[in-house]
Amino acid sequence: MGRLFGTDGIRGIANETLTCELAMQVGRAAACALSSNRRRRPVVLVGSDPRISSDMLSNAIASGMCSVGADVTHLGVIPTPAVAHLISKYKADAGVMISASHNAAEYNGIKIFGGDGFKLPDDLEEQIETLVLDPAKSRMELAQPHDIGAIQHAHGSEKDYIAHLKSTVAFSLDGLKIAIDCANGAASRTAPKLFEELGAKCEFLSAEPDGLNINENCGSTHMESLISKVKEGGFDAGIAFDGDADRCLAVDEKGGVIDGDQIMAICAVDMKRRGKLPHDTVIGTILTNLGFVRFCKENGLNFIATKVGDRFVLEEMLLGEFGFGGEQSGHVIFRDFATTGDGQLTAIQLLSLLRREGRPLSELARVMTRYPQVSRNIPVTQAGKLAFYTDAAIKKAVDDGKAALGEDGRMVVRVSGTEPLVRVMAEGKDISEIDALADSIAALIGDRLGNL
């Protein structure tokens, strides 16, 4: 994790740690780094989610890019995976998404994609960080007046993205009744039209963003309203997106939550049966549920775990030429169709499978037995994050917890790559045991790191 970039781009509180001045400098640095080996001026797509600070930051980053001679095409409010997809379609050199994903409205972030639609490799992120944070080492030269970049606005980007999504499923979703929570985020602009054109009968929740209500008691991190709606309204399924619509969770017809691991299990069995799962392998992370690992063994599938973060999942997929992977949080990557996690793509793949099978979603989800899993998030400062790695008492407590759980459980304690938190996850057969262990470790971390 670098000085600016975390596991999912740059993240911070808008107008405090993530200012328009910083965004402008990042825009300049990104344009310089991405154009260093090009003969022509680069073209960069810029999209955003609908939080109130996104216009400020997207205009700042576009201004920075233009100041060093890059041209910018504004896509407006659009999901993160749409930016990644449209880079190649529009023959752009890079793409930038202004979003803080599942975080509250006061946060925002900057995600950068290269010309291939993938998130930037570490060396390019480091180059951008050096240009921004160590200007004495690498000077950014402003363009001459006649070489300043231009800004234009794309028309039809939503339509182009929706057409791509529709092309990934073979038939309509006629006959399905679906409740869809758009998290008052970017999916509010695309999901109603997508699902209407695919023929599903839908009711939309939290699809009226006002700049301040993104992810507020809604979306994939707050699924209570969606669960109630599905149970009370006789829906076949519910779908929940996050603020930038790069992740998706589901609710079955009985109100049971279907997380990313379960979605991958349902889809992996189907893909293997149809010969669409390269090397019969699925990529997950160290937080992937133990039940999924057992599911893979029982169904003749190979499982590879990476560090937490969809970028690491994708890196492993590319390294081994694998086609399918994701995270429990709902970042699921269908490599045949996308270069990043895509919530709406995941949703229509799952619902298309549901339509083909003609069986309830709760029945499809029984392919995997989920182990009980609990999480604790402990607020810490940046100093606390750094101290975590060398604290002997915390290390001993974690090691003791892992030993107590044995082969029938796991404990993962890590620093968050996107928020000022240390995260504790405990998993095992006995919910009371893992609850007690997670509480004990969390209390220790709070005592030792909370006041640094």
Tell me the average pLDDT across 191-209. 97
Residue 368 has pLDDT above 90, yes or no: yes
Query: Class assignment of domain 373-449?
Result: alpha beta
Q: How confident is the model at residue 75 (pLDDT cuts 50, 70, 90)?
A: very high
Task: Please give the pLDDT value at position 135.
Answer: 74
Question: How far apart are the C-alpha atoms of 237 and 341, rounded to whole Å?
Answer: 21
Q: Where in the chain is the domain with CATH 3.40.120.10?
A: 5-156, 172-367
88 is catalytic: no
Q: How many CB atoms lie within 10 A of CB 318?
A: 12
Amino acid found at 365: A
Query: pLDDT tens-digit profile of 261-282?
Result: 999 999 999 999 999 999 999 9
pLDDT in tens, 121-130: 888 999 999 9
Categorize the per-residue pLDDT at 39 as very low, low, confident or very high, splitting at 50, 70 and 90.
Answer: low
User: Which CATH fold topology does 172-367 show?
Assistant: Alpha-D-Glucose-1,6-Bisphosphate; Chain A, domain 3 (3.40.120)
Give domain 5-156's CATH superfamily.
Alpha-D-Glucose-1,6-Bisphosphate, subunit A, domain 3 (3.40.120.10)
Q: Which residue has the tokens 């006002």?
A: 210
Q: Is residue 423 within a helix (H) or strand (E), and if so which, with residue range?
A: strand 421-428
pLDDT > 90 fraction of the chain, expressed in percent and rounded = 87
Calculated CA dihedral for residues 52, 54, 57, 62, nearest 10 degrees = -140
Where in the chain are all domains bearing CATH 3.30.310.50? Answer: 373-449
Residue 294 has pLDDT above 60, yes or no: yes
Confidence of residue 202 (pLDDT cuts 50, 70, 90): very high
Give 376-414 pLDDT, tens digit per residue: 999 998 899 999 999 999 999 999 999 999 888 889 999
Tell me, what's the pLDDT at 1? 45
pTM for this prediction? 0.90
Given the residues 35, 53, 101, 416, the one annotated as active site:
101
What is the spatial distance between Cα 309 and Cα 284, in angstroms, rounded to a whole number? Answer: 9
pLDDT for the residue 365: 97
At 125-150, the pLDDT tens digits run: 999 999 999 877 667 889 999 999 99
Are the CB atoms for 414 and 385 separated by under 8 Å? no
Q: Is 384 helix (H, G, I), strand (E, B) or coil?
A: helix
> Using CA atoms, how far apart are residues 309 and 299, in angstroms rounded to an integer?
25
